[in-house]
Structures are given as structure tokens and as C-alpha cells.
Amino acid sequence: MADALSLPIAEIAVLLSDGKLKARALVEQAIANHERCGGKLMAYSQWAPEYARGCADDADAAFAVGARAGPLQGIPVSIKDLFAVCGFATYAGSPKRLPPQFEIEGPVIASLRRQLATVMGKTHMVEFAFGGTGHNAHYGSPYNPWDAKAHRSPGGSSSGAGVSLCEGSALLALGSDTAASVRLPAAMTGNAGLKITKERWSTAGIVPLSFTFDTPGILARSMADAAFSFAALDPLLGDSFAFLRRVPAGIGGMRIGIADSWFWDGCENGIDGVVRGAIDKLASAGAIVKDKPLPEAREAFAVFAEGGVSAIELRAFLDQELPGWLETIDPVNAPALKNTENLSARDYLRRRLRLVTAAKAAAARFDDVDVIATPTVMFSPHVLAKESSAEQFWARNRKIVHNLAPVNFLTLCAATLPVGLDRIGMPVGLQFIAKGGDDECLVAVACAAERVLGTPREILGIPPLCKG
């Protein structure tokens, strides 16, 4: 099949199961796509074409004897390099290989293994996932494929994940989201992203940034692909296909709240207009739209701006598990991690208590809406060379996670899907936020919205750096 990778994952899975498409042929297309880009986009820290071919051959062998291991059998997947994957070293974006205990697979990767998915390699990331710009002083930063001239941020910390989808070397990308790190790169590269409720998926086998907020997550080329992958991997759903059949065909009757001005004021390059236009289309298609403030987001972001809890929790992890690692930490991150020495236990616990209180109040905001809609990111992906100091880096980081970090800090779940291009031709994302635990409802609303608005390729086209 000439261009099977352009099809939705659900259709590809059927073709593979019916024997009309071979997993080996699919992976050869994925490899060719990566090679066509010449590796210039820097999606992967460990690119493994021969390993991927072996995975595909295993999937085909199982298909040949009538064995169906799961919905992701034979599907090309990229994996962020803080997941332990047998056969791969774990670096977590650092310059040194982590000890063997960080190469023991956890439940998420075990599920991929059981389903005989095709592992394409490990994607680049921000060191220890601590930062959202995609910057990595040790290895360099992946290129956002939407700008053919400047080296713009692909988003982070799952910086290579979205890029792997854009170049066509993967159909599903696994990342993690502690304050933005799935949704931010998804939005900045024109892909869909799903931040799952904390504790729904295990973080075992994943190098930690913050044990309080770390969450595995999904990036995919469309919300339909994200939903298919979520159904395949989620341990609570049982029958994944039954869940997909329950996803409504239309947006009619779904209740969408429009977030207050805190999420909108200051959007640059027409981002707010693009997102509002998308919401208007959903309203015209039958969605019930109303204003819905989420004032607790201000309190959550205030805690984040004060230093949050990730820095101190990462520092505790490094001190306990990787002594001496702080000596080689990225210079833009070193000051924040070293300054945690001045944070008292009382101040740390006070921050945690403020967030617990805010999260309880935020949960009640969803009593009369299914989701709350915001722009995913208020700012266009920036040129990476513009930040030359730690202060500039963290000022930029705070800006781009403004609408994202409160979701984690308020124990909510969220999805992003692309809805257009801004004035400089960069992707714009629409974020849907849902109550913690309402992941199935969130996915249903996001899928229904995509059916009204169009798929990313229909809306955005192909990134300039990925055109053949």
C-alpha cells in the first residue's frame, strides 16, 4: 500500500489484522520517512530501525497464525527517553546512562510489548523532563517542522515526540506530562495530546520528575488516533472497542464551558481568535456553550511561579538515587535545583496544601459542564536561540505553560487538538479540561470536536520540513 501511514490508526489496524497490510511494509515506510528528513529534525535520541524491523516481523508472524495480541499490534510507536524499554539505554535527557534499575519496564511499556507494537526508538527530551521549551544543552534540541527557516521550539519536555509524528516515523508517541509536557509539544507541532488523570496509569518504569504530578500521556496525529491508543492502553476500560463504539458521532448536547479571561488575555499572533472561531463552530454544530470561570487556576499558577513542587522533588530524587548527577545538570536548570536547598519543609508542605485546597474547589466547576475550553498555549513557538540565560529561559517557560500547568496542579485531565495556524504560520491548539477521573468523557468530547473541525492534516496541511 503506497501510503498506509496517512490512514487513521484504526483503519491501519484493520488492514493489518485482515492481512491486507504487513507490519514490515508499514515500518519500512516509517523508516523511509525518517530517512527522507535525514534525521535533521532530531526527533530521536536513539533511532533503532533494525530493532523496529524485528518488532514488525514478530507482529507479522503472530498475524500469520491468527494471533491477535492487541489493537496496537504492528503499529509504529516512539517512546520518550525516560521510559524504561528493554534493549535501550535510559538517559532521560542527561549526558550519562542511568543505572540498570531505570531500564526495568513498567506497565505502560509492558502493555505495548504484549500487544506487539513496533518500537521505532527513543525520542529526545528535556533533561529529566524539567522544562517546557525543548532545550537540551547536552544533545541539542529537536526542530519544530513548521518553520523551514528558524530553529523554533517543538515544545517540551517530550520534545522529540511530536516531531516523530510530524515526520511520519511513528503513529503514536508516548510522553509524560507533569506540568505541560504532553500537551505543549503536541500543540506546538500540530498534533493531538492527551494528559490523563494522575494515578490512572502507572508511573513505574518511568524516571521521575515529580512524584506528585508525573503522568504518562499520549501524543498522536489526530484525536481519533489518540482515542484509539488510549483505549488500547488504558487498564480501566476493559473492552477497548466497546469504549470506542460509545464515542458519540456528533457534538450536539455536549456542554463546553469557555474559560475566563485569565486564559485568554495576552494571546499573541491571533491565537485567541483562532480558538474562539473553533468554539463558535462547535456551538453552531450543537454544542452547548457557556462562560465558565476557573479561578483556582490563578492560585495553582501562583504556586507554580513560586517554584512549585517539581524542583524540590527532582532534587530529592537526584540526591537519593543519582548522587553526583547535579554536577552535570544543564546550566539553565542548575540554579533552580540548587536553590531548593533553601526551601523549608514547612514551605513545601504549605504549597502542597494550597494546591489540595484549590483542587477541591476546582472539581465543583465541572458540575454543569463536560469540559472547559481554553487556548492550549497563548504564545507561538519561539526561536530557541533567543534565550541566553537561566532567567530568560525560565521566564519563557512560565509563559508557555501558563494555561497548562494548572491542569496538573488541580488534579484535572486535559486534551489538546489543533484548530488552525496563527499569523506566523505556527499551529494553534484548543485545550479541553475535564474533571479528574472523567477521562472517557474528555476523549469523547475531543473526538466529537475533531469530527466537526477536521483532522490536523485537513486543517493544517503538512509541515514545511516534512514535505517530500
3-class state of residue 105 by DSSP: coil
CA atoms of 218 and 175, how far apart (whole Å)? 6
Is 94 marked active-site?
no
β-strand pairing of 192-195 with 255-258: unpaired
CB 377 within 8 Å of CB 405: no
CA atoms of 79 and 258, how far apart (whole Å)? 33
Look up residue 164 and give its three cell numbers. Answer: 516523530
3-class state of residue 437 by DSSP: coil
CA atoms of 279 and 266, how far apart (whole Å)? 19
CA atoms of 47 and 58, how far apart (whole Å)? 19
CB 188 within 8 Å of CB 153: yes
Is 80 marked active-site?
yes
Catalytic-labelled residue, pool 45, 181, 210, 240: 181
Q: What's the DSSP call for residue 383?
A: B
CB 184 within 8 Å of CB 172: no
Alpha helices in 254-325 (DSSP H): 271-284, 296-305, 310-321
CA atoms of 366 and 371, how far apart (whole Å)? 7
List b or e across 272-287, with b for residues whose CB sees 16 or more CB atoms inside 10 angstroms. Answer: bebbbebbebbeebeb
Which amino acid does the sequence have at 455? T
Is 389 marked active-site?
no
3-class state of residue 3 by DSSP: coil
Q: Using CB atoms within 10 A of its CB, is residue 28 exposed (0-12), middle (13-18) or buried (19+)?
A: middle
Q: Using CB atoms within 10 A of its CB, is residue 223 exposed (0-12), middle (13-18) or buried (19+)?
A: buried
Catalytic-labelled residue, pool 157, 159, 240, 310: 157
Can you give the length of the chain in residues?
468
- Torsional sign, CA 38, 43, 44, 50: negative
Catalytic-labelled residue, pool 80, 122, 195, 435: 80
Alpha helices in 37-171 (DSSP H): 49-64, 107-114, 159-167
Query: What phi and psi values does residue 465 have, to the nearest 5 degrees?
Result: -80, 0
Picking from 124, 150, 154, the residue whose alpha carbon sits closest to that of residue 139 is 124
- Residues labelled catalytic: 80, 157, 181
